[in-house]
Amino acid sequence: MASNILSRILPPANGGQSIYEAIRDQEQAAATSTSEADAQHEDVDEQNLEERFRDEDMDLLAEAMGSRLNSQSPEITDHPPRSRRSSTGPATQDSSVPRPKWLRNTTRAQQYRDDDVSPEMLLLEDTEAKKTDPNRPVPSRQASLPPPVPGPSTRKTRVQWDTTREQQRLYDDDRARESPAYRPTSALQFADPADKAMWRWTNVENLDNFFKDVYVYYIEKGIWSILLRRVIGMFTAAFVVSLTVFLSSCIDYSLIPTSHRLPDVLVPKCTKNMSALNNLLVWLFSFFWIIKLVSYATDMRRLWHLHDFYTHLLHIPDVEIQTISWQEIVGRIMNLRDANPRTALNINRRSRKFIGDVAKESMDAHDIANRLMRKENYYIALFNKDILDCTIPLPGLRDRRLFSKALEWNLGYCVSDFVFNDQGQVKQIFLKDTHRQALIDSLRTRFIVAGFINIVVAPIVVVSILVLYFLRYFTEFQRDPSQAGARGYTPFAEWKFREFNELHHLFQRRLNMSYPFASRYLDQFPKDKTVQLARFVRTIAGALATVLAVASLLDPEVFLGFEITPDRTVLFWLGILATIWATARGMVPDDELVFDPEYAINEVAQYTHYHPVHWHGRLHSDEVRQEFSELYRNKIRIFLEEILGIIVTPFVLWFSLPQCSEQIVDFFREFTVHVDGLGYVCWFAHFNFRKPGQCTAHLSTRRPLGLRNHLHHSS
């Protein structure tokens, strides 16, 4: 969608055909080739009449349909046979005998798009048990077929032609075929939910999207948790916007000092006198809120299908989703592998012929992870090879990297939507160098256009994040002021630490296990001056708070209303002193802490899997501590950098990232490989787990050693 929008806005990169038009042409060409193959399969009888029949054709037909003909048609030798194309299916006869078009296997997956009817061809049952009268009308999407081509004019050949028609029943005499009443929505309307779920699984065509839905359903803990989260999110957004508008437009703050009730300070009919900015905010929010509500409503059908898949096929109710492991779910999916013709391993020879050109796709635990992480694996490699330039192009900050969530979202918009197609595969045009310069120019233009879009939406995003963050975390900091010193990993550190094919929930689990050791490592380093000041502040604040608390206990009625400073009572200062004391206390390390930074950082490395070579022998140094502290920062600082990132992201998109567009395009071309049954994946994410003596997977590599060595040496 993003590519289509930008193709209408942006001019062609080279003054000729737009790169987006070239991409669409290639995608349409691929779709057209598939459609033509389907049409050949569906209209096989019509096309077959243009050719001559032979004895071998009767044998092949008998073998393919699992039946034996009583007699064979004599060979027609009046005219030589026309040249025929080679079959697309596996050969069953001598290679010198070409197979006719009406026995060639072609893809028919596009014919069965409706989710409410079960195609017989995908049930993988023996056709012997389902034979019916050959004169029964065959369902067809075509209303009628053209009349048959007349046979030879001689008496002998006319008899042969009639015999062939009588045996094969290609057409009824001089009338078009009639299809029976066909209602796809009524076929599974009253079927058992388990049968419906099994039919949907057998008809899954895009395994990437399906496994993505299955995984998201798992990490979000089932349909009811998903719906509850969405409802709470909708009401939270509505509450935040309503509260913001109320505080900014419906209260007369000048009346607060002289008033004692809320109705006295309310502005009557404030919604009619709102400012233009507030009106715009309300209308925009209402528009997006309604769109989100409609999208959630239309998504209910998909969620319920996933619920049926988990409940009836995997036998996992929503109650168990919160406790079951993903490995167990993958194991149960493996048990369903043979039910889908694309992934089945137990298909017999006859069924494989019947399926034809339906693509064989591999499916095991590694393949599922690779499908789920197909896009993320490329970003992991981009960050580990330092290809993305995320430095701030401003004076004094040129050497400072600032990678925020806002910039991460823009990378997905500019790069992912440009490189990958709707099926999640790398577009063919990126795998060739014929359009290299046009792709580079288009990627640069996408970065620049995204920068202007960020300028427009930045004020709204900054205000909404500030309000939401304040309302969500103010009470937590007030209740536990020591949380102000809590640390966390930066977004850049998370991409650095992540492994190829590592799913999100496993990665977060690994990071959470490293937090205690990371904090202990930073606390190992002596902060003598800071500790002394913190202890002094803690003593003073604690002493004053103790005096005020004891005095309040002795005479609470008099002393609690006593003003220590103008308009500031004892309760106010008790809260301030308690906050100062808790903050200072959090800066003082425990007395029983053992100093051993090397042990602490090694424990961190076991969970983060991050241990650069230049750290060896220098784990106790302050340089290593500073480098690690840039990855493990204070959470308040991370939040402030997120706000700053929204402001500086347009400059990064205008000046820094366009300079690495060439490297990005080359990276996708040189480090993309094709794995049979899986598609295009990142070269670094392809783990070859073959045993000795096994054949390797077919890899279509385009990686010149020069670029590959350059990327490895640059890291």
* Residues 455-476: tens digit of each pLDDT: 988 888 887 788 777 777 766 6
In the predicted model, what is the mean pLDDT of residues 174-200?
Answer: 64
In the predicted model, what is the mean pLDDT of residues 443-447?
Answer: 93
- Determine contact, residues 305/198, Cβ cutoff 8 Å: no
Position 100 confidence tier, pLDDT thresholds 50, 70, 90 = very low
For 61-73, the DSSP string reads HHHHHT---SS-P
Per residue in 480-537, pLDDT (tens digit) is 666 667 889 999 999 999 999 999 999 999 999 999 899 888 887 767 777 888 888 8
pLDDT recorded at residue 440? 92
Domain range summary for the chain, segments of one domain joined by +: 2-107+140-168, 205-339
Position 565 confidence tier, pLDDT thresholds 50, 70, 90 = confident
Q: Which residues contact 440 (CB under 8 A, 6 or more apart)?
A: 661, 662, 665
- Determine contact, residues 620/597, Cβ cutoff 8 Å: yes
Position 303 confidence tier, pLDDT thresholds 50, 70, 90 = very high
Quote the pTM value. Answer: 0.69
Highest mean pLDDT: which range of 82-96, 104-118, 257-271? 257-271
In the predicted model, what is the mean pLDDT of residues 683-687?
Answer: 83
In the predicted model, what is the mean pLDDT of residues 126-143?
Answer: 44
Residue 181 clears pLDDT 50, i.e. is over it: no
How far is 570 from 563, CA to CA, in rounded Å? 6
How does strand 563-565 pair with strand 568-569?
Answer: antiparallel
Burial zone of 269 (CB within 10 Å; 0-12 exposed, 13-18 middle, 19+ buried): exposed
Burial zone of 454 (CB within 10 Å; 0-12 exposed, 13-18 middle, 19+ buried): buried
Closest CA to 208 of 16, 50, 420, 382: 420
pLDDT recorded at residue 702? 41
- Determine contact, residues 488/632, Cβ cutoff 8 Å: yes
pLDDT recorded at residue 628? 92
In the predicted model, what is the mean pLDDT of residues 14-33?
Answer: 63
pLDDT recorded at residue 206? 86
Bridge partners of 138?
none
pLDDT recorded at residue 688? 61
* Number of DSSP helices (H) and strands (E) in the chain, helices first: 30, 6
pLDDT recorded at residue 253? 85
pLDDT recorded at residue 315? 92
pLDDT recorded at residue 103? 32
| C-beta neighbour count of 190 within 10 angstroms | 6
Highest mean pLDDT: which range of 15-29, 451-465, 589-603, 665-679? 665-679
- Determine contact, residues 426/378, Cβ cutoff 8 Å: no
In the predicted model, what is the mean pLDDT of residues 350-358?
Answer: 54
How far is 446 from 654, CA to CA, in rounded Å? 10
In the predicted model, what is the mean pLDDT of residues 588-614?
Answer: 82
How far is 215 from 204, CA to CA, in rounded Å? 15
Closest CA to 256 of 248, 243, 265: 265
Highest mean pLDDT: which range of 28-32, 150-154, 293-297, 463-467? 293-297
